[in-house]
Amino acid sequence: VFLGGSDTVGFPIKFTPKYAGCYRCQILLKSSCDIRVYEIECVVSAEKADAQLEFQTAAYQTVTQEIPISNMSCEDWRFEAVLEGQCFYGPPVINVRVGETAQYPLTFKPVAEC
């Protein structure tokens, strides 16, 4: 604790989360003449990760890969998908509720040998 001025007190908090997500807590401060409750919410994001998918299928055969999207945050997510490249298909929007995992179905429909 450090004094930041005549009537302020700093209250440093440190925590080391193991996973991305939303962490909430309450801090109760009591004195002989006052009670205060502070609610703290920390949102921890995962490090950005690169991913690569490789599709292999017989000529003209469709293949679909389910991509899991886990929402460990404090808010529902709404994703808009932008697919680049020919022959790839998937829903334009996907919603993932707090604490849930949704599957994004990415489909490859080749129209020629490639």
Nearest to residue 58, comparing CAs of 12, 108, 106? 108
**What is the CB neighbour count within 10 angstroms for residue 6?**
5
In a domain, 12, yes or no: no
Count the domains in the chain.
1
In a domain, 18, yes or no: no
In a domain, 76, yes or no: yes
In a domain, 35, yes or no: no
- At 9-57, the pLDDT tens digits run 777 888 888 877 888 889 898 989 999 898 988 888 777 666 777 777 7
pLDDT recorded at residue 35: 92
Nearest to residue 94, comparing CAs of 77, 74, 75, 82? 77
User: Which residue range(s) make up the domain with 68?
Assistant: 63-108
